[in-house]
Amino acid sequence: QPVDRMPVVYFGFWQETLEKWAREGHLSADCARGWGDGNACDREVARLLGFDFNWQSVFAPASFLKPTFAPEVVRTLPDGTQHIRNGLGVTVMVKEGAGSIPSEIEHLLKDRASWEAHYKPRLQWNPARVEEAIVRVDGQPLPFGGGGLEALRGNPRDWPVALHAGSLVGTIRNIVGVENLCYLEVDDPSLLHEIVETVAELCYHCVEHALERGGAFDLGHFWEDICFKNGPLVRPQWFDEQVGHHYRRITGLMNRHGLDIVSLDCDGQIDALIPTWIENGVNTMFPIEVGTWNASIEPWRRQYGPRLRGVGGMNKTVFARDRRAVDAEIDRLARLVELGGFIPCPDHRIAPDAIWDNVRYYTERLRLVLG
């Protein structure tokens, strides 16, 4: 459809990136420390850099464990490394100064007994999951059921707010681990089926309640992260048979309330799972990681046509180089934008090697070239 302009979109930052930029004097230390997706600091950093909005500006009901587990230190090693049981009940190895995803040591969810004792009770529907969740209006947090809903309805804005529909498999993977999820499909398929059904039912009720209360949302959004650089972390046939219809039920609900764009955040090489998503109402892929396999919307568009849309696909590594690299990346993106239904966005959080002036140049140049 015709548009007045193409938004210049991003997807947040590593915390180390903000801290570096604060040291360099580009933003305040308070803003760097207080940053979060969609909050007031996020809006300020976006303004300084020239972005229109963060794609992760979402209203997110509590569609998973509630309450989470109280974190506890299980073991402290001589070098100071700790084994900590986190809020998901997963024991992870935490080492001071390490900023990457921590190694998993042990999982509390092992079998049906641990599922029924520790997890199933934490995945039951209650309206408080929506009513107590936070809506951000002009970056300020308000409870959905305590004034936030009215403010969201009555507040004109020039950026979209998404309704987060939760996760149907990614959060399950988070509590059992990739390896155990693979074993569970074979060793106890009925248990895995029950876990998926329970999580999907909770996600549905959260979306249903938010929409029936009249939330003023512009699109729906799922999170999964169930792929890596060589393909899915789950078996595509199982995913299609056991999970696909749950997407259809939730996206159908969204469509009936006027949300015709439903995006999904999945890192990695997602090609083998796209058929399940596109056939069940998820029509916008994000963040289309360029990575080592050069992911792009172009081959997907050839295969699926204009019903498949995309946000992302911008190789953020050029921010660490120079303006010539930024120009070349924008030239590449301009051709993809001409396909329609595609908004460029750095293909994940902006990393600590990013140069502030290169990011500023990118936003200015993107507006000039693409309008």
State the pLDDT at residue 336: 96
The type of residue at 30 is D
- Tell me the pLDDT of the chain (371 aa) as tens digits: 788 889 999 999 999 999 999 999 999 999 999 999 999 999 999 999 999 999 998 999 999 999 999 999 999 999 999 999 999 999 999 988 776 788 999 999 999 999 999 999 999 999 999 999 999 887 788 999 888 888 888 777 888 899 999 999 999 999 999 999 999 999 999 999 999 999 999 999 999 999 999 988 999 999 999 999 999 999 999 999 999 999 999 999 999 999 999 999 999 999 999 999 999 999 999 999 998 889 999 999 999 999 999 999 999 999 999 999 999 999 999 999 999 999 999 999 999 999 999 999 999 999 999 87
What phi and psi, each to the nearest 5 degrees, are found at residue 82? -120, 145
- E strand or H helix that includes residue 18: helix 15-23
Residue 48 tokens read as 């300084």
State the pLDDT at residue 106: 96
Q: What is the pLDDT of residues 102-131, one digit of tens each?
A: 899 999 999 999 999 999 999 999 999 999
Neighbours of 66 (CB within 10 A): 16
- E strand or H helix that includes residue 98: none
Please, are residues 319 and 359 in contact by the beta-carbon 8 Å criterion? yes
Dmax over CA atoms of the chain, in Å, equals 62
Cα distances (angstroms) measured from residue 65 to each of 137, 185, 206 = 26, 21, 13
- Reduced to 3 states, what is the DSSP secondary structure of residue 109? coil
Query: What gap in Å lies between CA 10 and CA 55, rounded to an integer?
Result: 6
Alpha carbon 327 to its chain's center: 27
Query: What gap in Å lies between CA 244 and CA 265, rounded to an integer?
Result: 16
Alpha carbon 51 to its chain's center: 18
Residue 80 tokens read as 């100071």
Question: Rg for the chain (alpha carbons), in Å?
Answer: 21
State the pLDDT at residue 138: 78
Please, are residues 265 and 287 in contact by the beta-carbon 8 Å criterion? yes
- Reduced to 3 states, what is the DSSP secondary structure of residue 57? coil
Strands 103-107 and 72-76: unpaired
State the pLDDT at residue 1: 75
Strands 219-223 and 162-164: parallel
Strands annotated E in the chain = 9-10, 53-54, 58-59, 72-76, 82-85, 90-94, 103-107, 134-137, 140-143, 162-164, 219-223, 227-228, 231-232, 262-265, 284-286, 309-314, 342-346
Query: What gap in Å lies between CA 316 and CA 109, rounded to an integer?
Result: 37
State the pLDDT at residue 113: 97
Please, are residues 358 and 316 in contact by the beta-carbon 8 Å criterion? no
Query: What gap in Å lies between CA 69 and CA 38, rounded to an integer?
Result: 26
Q: What is the pLDDT of residues 329-353, one digit of tens each?
A: 999 999 999 999 999 999 999 999 9
Alpha carbon 87 to its chain's center: 19
Strands annotated E in 165-270 = 219-223, 227-228, 231-232, 262-265
Query: What gap in Å lies between CA 153 and CA 147, rounded to an integer?
Result: 10
